């Protein structure tokens, strides 16, 4: 999904779940969440991204002009490996887009009842699906509609077999299921620690 077209997805999510704060590990330069979510902490360790966020006042100025909420924007960028974070506080939402196993590595920063948005490009949605701490509550496709119907059909193969989690972790690739959604929405139902 192109960065531009994600705005509608983040907006649908923020509205539906009243999201005020988000953590976005492996963000690269996707700052669209800040247009609809007042407090966003971005994390990335790529040189180009660190350079992009070094002009954070410009990013904030752009967001102030294009945001859809009344609150002041709070943007924080951490130039760090998301596996080694040490941050205060818990977030309403964690965003995992094409950046590895974010939902597993940063689960401890999600509020209980908080939301994980992830796709299965690198297998993060598959890992969340196999993790009892998370419950699949909806999917979201290219039409940006949050759909909580027929969730049982996802993560099943055409010919029934178990998912090979070791292979997913090794290849960092989501398996090809019979039905695949663009993005999956999980709720943290256990403590995440």
Ligand X SMILES: C[S@@+](CC[C@H](N)C(=O)[O-])C[C@H]1O[C@@H](n2cnc3c(N)ncnc32)[C@H](O)[C@@H]1O
99 near ligand X, judged by CB under 6 A: yes
| Residues with Cβ within 8 Å of residue 2, at least 6 apart in sequence | none
Q: Residue 60 CB: number of other CB atoms within 10 A?
A: 16
Radius of gyration from C-alpha coordinates of the chain: 16
Read off the tokens for 151.
């969730």
Binding residue (CB under 6 A) for ligand X from 49, 106, 126, 183:
49
**From CA 140, how far away is CA 185, in angstroms rounded?**
7
27 near ligand X, judged by CB under 6 A: yes
| Residues facing residue 138 across a β-bridge | 185
Question: How many residues lie near ligand X (CB under 6 A)?
Answer: 18
Least distance between ligand X and beta carbon 79 (Å): 9
Least distance between ligand X and beta carbon 94 (Å): 12
Burial of residue 58 (CB within 10 Å: 0-12, 13-18, 19+) is: exposed
Q: Decide if 184 contacts 121 (C-beta within 8 A).
A: no
Binding residue (CB under 6 A) for ligand X from 20, 45, 66, 104:
45
Binding residue (CB under 6 A) for ligand X from 64, 71, 81, 164:
81
175 near ligand X, judged by CB under 6 A: no
Region of 79-87, 161-169, 176-184, 185-193 interacting with ligand X (CB under 6 A): 79-87
124 near ligand X, judged by CB under 6 A: no
Residues in contact with ligand X by CB under 6 A are 3, 25-28, 30, 43-46, 49, 81-83, 97-100
């Amino acid at each position: 999904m192109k960065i531009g077209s994600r705005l509608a997805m983040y907006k649908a999510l923020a509205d539906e779940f009243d999201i005020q704060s988000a953590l976005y590990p492996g963000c690269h330069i996707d700052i669209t969440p800040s247009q609809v979510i007042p407090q966003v902490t971005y994390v990335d360790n790529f040189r180009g991204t660190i350079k992009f966020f070094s002009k954070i006042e410009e990013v904030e100025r752009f967001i102030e002009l294009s945001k859809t909420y009344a609150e002041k924007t709070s943007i924080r960028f951490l130039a760090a490996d998301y596996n080694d974070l040490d941050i205060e506080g818990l977030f309403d939402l964690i965003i995992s887009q094409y950046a590895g196993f974010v939902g597993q590595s940063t689960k401890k920063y999600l509020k209980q009842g908080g939301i994980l948005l992830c796709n299965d490009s690198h297998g993060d949605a598959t890992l969340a699906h196999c993790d009892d701490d998370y419950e699949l509550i909806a999917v979201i496709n290219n039409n940006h509609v949050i759909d909580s119907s027929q969730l049982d059909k996802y993560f099943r193969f055409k010919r029934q077999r178990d998912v090979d989690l070791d292979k997913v972790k090794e290849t960092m690739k989501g398996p090809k299921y019979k039905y695949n959604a663009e993005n999956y929405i999980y709720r943290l139902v256990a403590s995440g620690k």
